Amino acid sequence: MTQSTGNTPRIIYTLTDEAPLLATQSLLPIIEAFAGTAGVAVETRDISLAGRILAQFPDVLADDQKVGDHLAELGALATKPEANIIKLPNISASVPQLKAAIKELQAQGYPLPDYPEEPKGEQESEIKARYDRTKGSAVNPVLREGNSDRRAPASVKNYARKHPHRMGKWSPDSKSHVAHMDAGDFYGSEQSVVIQQAGTVKVRLTGSDGRSNMLKTGVKVTEGEVIDATCMSAKALAAFIRAQIDDARAQDVLFSLHLKATMMKVSDPIIFGVAVSEFYGPVLDKHAAVLAEAGFDPNNGIGDLYARLPSLDESVATEIKADIDALYGERPQLAMVNSDKGITNLHVPSDIIVDASMPAMIRDSGRMWNPAGELQDAKAVIPDRNYAGIYQAVIDDCRAHGAFDPATMGSVPNVGLMAQKAEEYGSHDKTFKIPADGVVEVLDEAGAVLMKHEVEAGDIWRMCQTKDAPIRDWVKLAVTRARLSNTPAVFWLDPQRAHDRNLAAKVEAYLKDHDTSGLEIHVMAPVEAMKFSLERIRAGKDTISVTGNVLRDYLTDLFPIMELGTSAKMLSVVPLMAGGGLFETGAGGSAPKHVQQFEQDDYLRWDSLGEFLALAASLEHLAETTGNARAKVLADALDVANGQFLDSDKSPTRKLGGIDNRGSHFYLAMYWAQALAAQDDDAELKATFAPVAQALADNEAKIVEELIAVQGQPVDMGGYYHPDFGKLAAAMRPSSTLNAVIDSLAG
Ligand SMILES: NC(=O)C1=CN([C@@H]2O[C@H](COP(=O)(O)OP(=O)(O)OC[C@H]3O[C@@H](n4cnc5c(N)ncnc54)[C@H](OP(=O)(O)O)[C@@H]3O)[C@@H](O)[C@H]2O)C=CC1
Ligand SMILES: O=C(O)CCC(=O)C(=O)O
Ligand SMILES: [Mg+2]
């Protein structure tokens, strides 16, 4: 961690995981050196999965192993006006990832306890509770103390139009489709209440035997807040999955499941587990006793079963493997995550993240990879109806009109509601797998029943909260964006949903607080909104989507992936409600596939454009809020550099032998230095950067050669979740010529 003292204006740059952490090793020294010339300190805070785990266990770690709770620190900072945080994507860990990270830290000498999946006794429950704080979407809901504004800046959109990426061709005969439940899902059972008076609510389960049990007490609620409760029937889900398995086989399409088991860290792993249990049912039933003994948990995927086979008697393990292979002969083929390695769609819950997986399918002509490594039509199972329909609408559109054309299509920016753990971000501690048949009720302090569901054992029940102030802020942000970009805005709200009806009433009321004259503002159900937006983008027109938290997530991968080929090129800003700024980098995740390639070939194809855009926005915000004129000069020059970077197409080439992430950082540094040397707003900066620009330009060929020369060899990172920073820095900064120029600027 680097830290400054006193009142130096500062930007916090987050250290995260996987590809973005690798990119940081190369980019951060450049950022620090440039920012330093304006007296801006760039400090780092570690919010990686490994860092978060270590921060939970100060009591078991030696003094030199302890790390501070940087996430808690940044969460507090996000509620203050001085916050200026650049947030890179981090791992939202599934249980298999969490266990792998713990194992790696233990092997590095950190005396951490094992993850007690089924805790026995108080001590193990306490350990599990600590680990669970680091699991799933543990970071974003803490830092996102504002709503989200994600869009492709004009320069990026123009670049995509000039250099359209490849889109898979769609056939009108495509059999690909989305399958969702028709009843018994969250959509069908949602109830919603607007809180009239601040207080607390509690959640009570009363079993059919009359005994009651508090699932949750003391949930604080504020006036005007919207709370919802909803429930998915385990029986209906299992029947639905069975029917889809049969139908996929009958139609000869791949079976694939698309969930968000990382962000919806309690409900979706259970849904994933039901799909695994149904698909592999005959084998799991036959070997139930031995698998239970081995600790297999279907919620962790069929990969968990394979991981446990070595602990079994060899003949039993061989029989289980043979039974699975035989079962594959009776099942539809599974969509593959990695067909070369035999990793299926049901192996690990964190490999099938719907926001990225559905757009990838749509980009690849609606097909997914089959076990033979070929593209094939697929059934995309998205059990809950809340949002599944939007993807079917895209598929229908592509089947009817062909793939979208990035050279001509319009854009769909997003204004997303997520502040103060809005909607599903607030569900993590209020989602339960129901232990017994009965009734779940949400009660207020006086004991009045606010919401009520009949439940059966195994059902998933969850409650969400959405505070009033974030809703007001979201409406305001939507109007501001519509006005600034002179673009129609559509609130995606479904009149069939209780929560959405409450939101729509608030939207109607809060729109009156703003001057909306001349603006085109609609409220439409998601499928209708999708159709409306698709028709417009085919005609080259833009439409702002104004959505809740989940659609924010889904749409900000879907549209950028269609429009730009990747969501890495998005500007992703979170204007914090307290006045600070959280600048996210792109809209994608931490790209584990990129790390595999880096480890194997010393080639990192991570595109840092998202970081460049976030940095410009962060410097601009810093200049505005602290009056630092030099930061403004740096920001303006970075805008120019970003434009030139796009014009010159200096993103990673994605081919060994071409520039990768590191090469793209060199070009950004050169263009940025050149823009600073060319400007006349600040003579001192001009003088500082003239020789830097000169040195970088003079040595361009040499630097590029030094950066490319290392490619093609394996890299030792000294760890995956907790790599050795010395090794990473050496690997990510292989050009001594570039390093000398940057280090001399840093002084
Ligand atoms: N903001 C956050 O903190 C987020 C974190 N996550 C976490 O990230 C991890 C991986 O999630 P996953 O769903 O696989 O999504 P990713 O976005 O990491 O991966 C999907 C694909 O997106 C493309 N991609 C994403 N970012 C970049 C980039 N900067 N440059 C080039 N390509 C990029 C790549 O696809 P292609 O090969 O097609 O170019 C990549 O393989 C998980 O642990 C998840 O929880 C996920 C989303 C957001
Ligand atoms: O919070 C998370 O786990 C993931 C968030 C995400 O995918 C996004 O914000 O786009
Ligand atoms: Mg996302």
DSSP code of residue 378: E
Residues 115, 209, single domain; the answer is no
Residues 474, 393, single domain; the answer is no
Residues 6+ apart with CB under 8 A from 123: none
Residues 599, 535, single domain; the answer is no
Residue nearest to atom 1 of ligand 1 (CA): 89
Residues 547, 588, single domain; the answer is no
Residues 595, 629, single domain; the answer is yes
Q: Tell me the three-class secondary structure of 249-274, residue by residue.
A: HHHCCEEEECECCCCCCCHHHHHHHH
Q: Would you say residue 80 lies in a domain?
A: yes
Task: Ligand 1, residue 90: give the atom nearest the CA.
Answer: 3
Token pair for 664:
């793209």
Ligand at minimal distance from the CA of 558 is 3
Q: Which domain holds residue 343?
A: 177-183+233-401
Ligand at minimal distance from the CA of 166 is 1
Ligand at minimal distance from the CA of 567 is 1
Q: Would you say residue 138 lies in a domain?
A: yes
Residue 677 assigned ligand-binding role: no
Residue 557 assigned ligand-binding role: yes
Give the C-alpha distances (Å, rounded to integers) separating 398 from 165, 542, 743.
17, 18, 51
Task: Ligand 2, residue 589: give the atom nearest the CA.
Answer: 7
Residues 140, 60, single domain; the answer is yes
Residue 305 assigned ligand-binding role: no
Task: Check residue 6 and give its pLDDT.
Answer: 52
Query: How does strand 581-585 pair with strand 571-575?
Result: antiparallel
Query: How does strand 84-87 pair with strand 375-381?
Result: unpaired
By the 8 A CB rule, do 267 and 429 touch? no
Q: Would you say residue 492 lies in a domain?
A: yes
Q: Would you say residue 610 lies in a domain?
A: yes
Q: Give the helix, strand, coil percentages of the chain, each rounded to 5.
A: 50, 20, 35
CA of 416 to the centre of ligand 3 (A): 12
What is the distance, to the nearest Å, from the Cα of residue 398 to the centroid of all Cα atoms in its chain?
Answer: 25
Residue 587 Cβ < 6 Å to ligand 2: yes
Residues 260, 361, single domain; the answer is yes
Number of domains in the chain: 4
Residues 48, 122, single domain; the answer is yes
Q: Would you say residue 315 lies in a domain?
A: yes
Q: Give ∠ CA 720-724-726 in degrees, rounded to 5.
A: 145
**DSSP readout, 652-706?**
--SSBTB--HHHHHHHHHHHHHHHHHH--S-HHHHHHHHHHHHHHHHTHHHHHHH
Helices (H) and strands (E) in the chain, counts: 28, 24
Residues 305, 379, single domain; the answer is yes
Which residue, chain included where needed, has tokens 């600048």?
583
By the 8 A CB rule, do 268 and 354 touch? no
CATH number assigned to the domain comprising residue 489: 3.40.1010
Q: Would you say residue 499 lies in a domain?
A: yes
Residues 706, 581, single domain; the answer is yes
Task: Check residue 747 and give its pLDDT.
Answer: 81
CA of 352 to the centre of ligand 3 (A): 12
Token pair for 69:
């709770």
Residues 215, 240, single domain; the answer is no
- What ipTM, to 2 d.p.? 0.98
User: CA torsion angle for 326, 331, 332, 335 (degrees, to 10)?
Assistant: -60
Q: What is the pTM of this model?
A: 0.97
Token pair for 330:
């009776």
Ligand at minimal distance from the CA of 89 is 1
By the 8 A CB rule, do 744 and 699 touch? no
Distance separating alpha carbons of residues 360 and 348, to the nearest angstrom: 18
Give the side-chain half-sphere CA count within 13 A for 299. Answer: 16
Distance separating alpha carbons of residues 230 and 463, to the nearest angstrom: 7
Distance separating alpha carbons of residues 624 and 581, to the nearest angstrom: 11
11: left (phi over 0), alpha (psi -120 to 50) or beta: beta
Q: Would you say residue 169 lies in a domain?
A: no
CA of 140 to the centre of ligand 2 (A): 7
Distance separating alpha carbons of residues 614 and 414, to the nearest angstrom: 16
Task: Ligand 1, residue 20: give the atom nearest the CA.
Answer: 29
Distance separating alpha carbons of residues 173 and 185, to the nearest angstrom: 30
Residue nearest to atom 45 of ligand 1 (CA): 92
**Site residues for ligand 1, CB cut-off 6 Å:** 89-92, 140, 262, 350, 353, 356, 360, 566, 568, 586, 588-593, 606-607, 610
137, 428, 566: residue to mutate for ligand 1 pocket, most atoms within 8 A of CB: 566
Task: Check residue 5 and give its pLDDT.
Answer: 46
By the 8 A CB rule, do 382 and 349 touch? no
Give the C-alpha distances (Å, rounded to integers) separating 223 from 136, 163, 201, 505.
29, 50, 12, 15
CA of 117 to the centre of ligand 1 (A): 27
Report residues of the chain scoring pLDDT below 70. 1-7
Q: Give, as residue ranges, everything with CB less than 5 Å from ion ligand 3.
A: 355, 553
CA of 493 to the centre of ligand 3 (A): 19
590, 598, 605, 668: residue to mutate for ligand 1 pocket, most atoms within 8 A of CB: 590
Residue 608 assigned ligand-binding role: no
Residues 360, 444, single domain; the answer is no
Ligand at minimal distance from the CA of 554 is 3
Q: Would you say residue 163 lies in a domain?
A: no
Residue 355 Cβ < 6 Å to ligand 2: yes
